[in-house]
Amino acid sequence: MILIDGTATAATIKEEIAQRVRQILADGGRRPHLAAILVGHDGGSETYVANKVKACEVCGFQSTLIRYEADVTEQELIDKVIELNNDDSIDGFIVQLPLPRHIDEQKIIEAIDYRKDVDGFTPVNVGRMAIGLPCFISATPKGIMELLKRYHIQTSGKHCVIIGRSNIVGKPMAQLMLQKIYGDSTVTICHSHTENLKEICRTADILIAAIGRPAFVTADMVKPGATVIDVGTTRVPDATRKSGFRLQGDVDFEHVAPLCSHITPVPGGVGPMTISMLMQNTLLAVEKNW
Amino acid sequence: MILIDGTATAATIKEEIAQRVRQILADGGRRPHLAAILVGHDGGSETYVANKVKACEVCGFQSTLIRYEADVTEQELIDKVIELNNDDSIDGFIVQLPLPRHIDEQKIIEAIDYRKDVDGFTPVNVGRMAIGLPCFISATPKGIMELLKRYHIQTSGKHCVIIGRSNIVGKPMAQLMLQKIYGDSTVTICHSHTENLKEICRTADILIAAIGRPAFVTADMVKPGATVIDVGTTRVPDATRKSGFRLQGDVDFEHVAPLCSHITPVPGGVGPMTISMLMQNTLLAVEKNW
């Protein structure tokens, strides 16, 4: 069984990006520039954005953090998005989610010019990915594709079973694994209403769990020799930890891991990849031509 | 075995639309107005567009046909698309494909305002459908969903296997069958690189064939009691016909039909539904609110 090390892979990718940036600067180019809009003071969002800013430093990017209090109006945010769309000094930007309830998230996302939408959340980018056009792919599915590639896991013609049909993971994952230019797999998407779930999972060469139900995937759902990708990260109470909780994936790692050819741990698997994929998208925003 | 009658269903739908239009007019509203751009004199395209114009008459729509010779420039077409985008008297419009080789089809499609894109081909509409937002769904997948609904075929929790991953049928079909607000099925997408294709097809409660390979789906690929939807329409030589050919679906109808609970014939199944779905989209363009 090979443990897929997302932390090490993400570090490698950031170093590759930093190297590319040094090359761009040596060639007389400008530093890639990522902006982030952060609304309010949600603890999780603060941490995520701080980590993104830090990753920008590691990669040699310029970063700009734009803060608003939680009482910002929808129109103020839209105006800022339009300003960033038109600001040639900024290559890409994100709006950190979730937003306060009085703001229509979808409306904000749709205001972003898809050519700067490095989160890949706008309908245009989602559609372009589905059609197979150049696009920004959102961080989690992109990170999983990168792990499969870097660990030389064969996907073409293989059966990939995805549990979960979210807009953030399950659906784009299916699109990527399906297409000839990406995974070229046979793809099955399962969800809460699926009949014979265990039976279907057992046919998977690659099993991707993204439902947010701790230890949902048990050993009897996994074919020996399968690759298992665990996207779940649920906080479960753990009295032995100082924090009082630990992160638990969707996979019963202890019993599933011995069966697998490859498996991602939680934490340290898919999670660490996401920010490096945002950095890769920002670099793509600089180098793209569409 | 129940034969799914697309011709009759399409006629019913057009009559329902005509009724709705009479109501709109009685309420002092304006006739829905569909425009079509036709480039060159391709025989197939001429027929399709003529049938669309005829369907507009049946539904009580106004229609406008805009013709260009095959030597029209890309810029002329884009300018016309932008004009139609901004013309408040037109609710929706289509650009009949294929276009001559010197024109970038994707560029023309992307110029269409998604709110008038009644073919549902723009990346914005494809993305909006994937995300589950209000959108125009392209005619063939929309027609199949309508047939499943009108024949009361249970889809929720059922296993739907789709053969083919085209942008026009396979991929959007998968999106629709998957989502809770549409099919709510477990979905598997197979294609030319799929291993164990027969075995996977045999697990399908609903089997949708969209590969354009005549009589590809044989009886040993179908589970008894399954619903089979045949999207293929290939012209095969037939000396007994005056035309010298007949339309052959992707399914070996003669041997598969006796096994099925429901099956669509070719011709007279999915095919006749598409134009009525274009009419439904045009009505939606009038009544929508996005």
Q: Calculate the average pLDDT of chain B.
A: 97
| Catalytic hit among B52, B80, B158, B171 | B52
Instruction: Report how far apart, in Å, the C-alpha atoms of A67 and of each of A40, A52, A70 are.
Output: 8, 14, 10
Q: Burial of B225 by CB count in 10 Å (0-12 exposed, 13-18 middle, 19+ buried)? A: exposed
User: Over the stretch B181-198, which tens digit does the pLDDT of each residue have?
Assistant: 999 999 999 999 999 999
User: Over the stretch B211-259, which tens digit does the pLDDT of each residue have?
Assistant: 999 999 999 999 999 999 999 999 999 999 999 999 999 999 999 999 9
Considering the domain architecture, whether residues A94 and A186 belong to the same structural domain is answered as no
Considering the domain architecture, whether residues B266 and B156 belong to the same structural domain is answered as yes
Q: With bands split at pLDDT 50, 70 and 90, how would you rate the model's confidence at A290?
A: low
Positions in chain B short of pLDDT 50: none
Q: What is the DSSP string of A31-65?
A: --EEEEEEES--HHHHHHHHHHHHHHHHHT-EEEE
Considering the domain architecture, whether residues B90 and B155 belong to the same structural domain is answered as no
Considering the domain architecture, whether residues B170 and B228 belong to the same structural domain is answered as yes
Is residue A131 one of the residues assigned to a domain? no
Is residue B279 one of the residues assigned to a domain? no
Q: Calculate the average pLDDT of chain A.
A: 97
Q: Does A157 touch chain B (CB under 8 A)?
A: yes
Going by the DSSP 8-state scheme, the letter that residue B231 receives in this structure is -
Q: Does B123 touch chain A (CB under 8 A)?
A: yes
Mention every residue, 6+ apart, whose C-beta is less than 8 A from residue A221: A197, A198, A201, A202, A207
Percent of chain B exceeding pLDDT 90 equals: 99
pTM, whole model, 2 decimals?
0.96
Considering the domain architecture, whether residues B59 and B165 belong to the same structural domain is answered as no
Mention every residue, 6+ apart, whose C-beta is less than 8 A from residue A145: A137, A176, A182, A183
pLDDT score recorded for residue A288:
81
Q: Does A50 touch chain B (CB under 8 A)?
A: no
Judged by CB atoms closer than 8 Å, whether chains meet at A126 and B127 is answered as yes
What is d(CA B211, CA B219) in angstroms, rounded to the nearest whole number? 17
Residues B171 and B165 sit within 8 Å (Cβ to Cβ): yes
User: Over the stretch A174-191, which tens digit does the pLDDT of each residue have?
Assistant: 999 999 999 999 999 999
> Which chain A residue's Cα is nearest to B184?
A193
Is residue B285 one of the residues assigned to a domain? no
CA atoms within 13 A on the CB side of A176: 25
* Structure tokens that stand for A200 in this block: 């279907």
Of B123, B133, B193, nearest to A128 by CB-CB distance is B123
* Length of chain A measured in residues: 290
pLDDT score recorded for residue B290:
65
Q: Does B126 touch chain A (CB under 8 A)?
A: yes
> Which chain B residue's Cα is nearest to A184?
B193
Task: Name chain A contacts of B196, Cβ cutoff 8 Å.
Answer: 159
Is residue A242 one of the residues assigned to a domain? yes
The number of domains in chain B is 2
- Strand A159-163 versus strand A206-209 pairing type: parallel
Is residue B3 one of the residues assigned to a domain? no
Closest CA to A95 of A63, A49, A58, A33: A49
Is residue A20 one of the residues assigned to a domain? no
Q: Please state the φ and ψ torsions of residue A4, each to the nearest 5 degrees.
A: -85, 120
Judged by CB atoms closer than 8 Å, whether chains meet at A188 and B188 is answered as yes
Considering the domain architecture, whether residues B73 and B186 belong to the same structural domain is answered as no
Considering the domain architecture, whether residues B99 and B155 belong to the same structural domain is answered as no
pLDDT score recorded for residue B117:
98
Residues B94 and B119 sit within 8 Å (Cβ to Cβ): yes
- Strand A186-190 versus strand B186-190 pairing type: antiparallel
Helix or strand (DSSP H, E) at B94: strand B92-95
What is d(CA B121, CA A226) in angstroms, rounded to the nearest whole number? 37
Considering the domain architecture, whether residues B65 and B174 belong to the same structural domain is answered as no
Of B133, B158, B167, nearest to A123 by CB-CB distance is B133
User: Over the stretch A210-259, which tens digit does the pLDDT of each residue have?
Assistant: 999 999 999 999 999 999 999 999 999 999 999 999 999 999 999 999 99
Considering the domain architecture, whether residues A263 and A176 belong to the same structural domain is answered as yes
Percent of chain A exceeding pLDDT 90 equals: 99
Q: Tokens 């164990």 label which residue?
A: B196
Domain range for A238: 139-273
Residues of A noted as catalytic: 52, 96, 119
Is residue B18 one of the residues assigned to a domain? no
Judged by CB atoms closer than 8 Å, whether chains meet at A186 and B193 is answered as yes
* Structure tokens that stand for A277 in this block: 């994929």
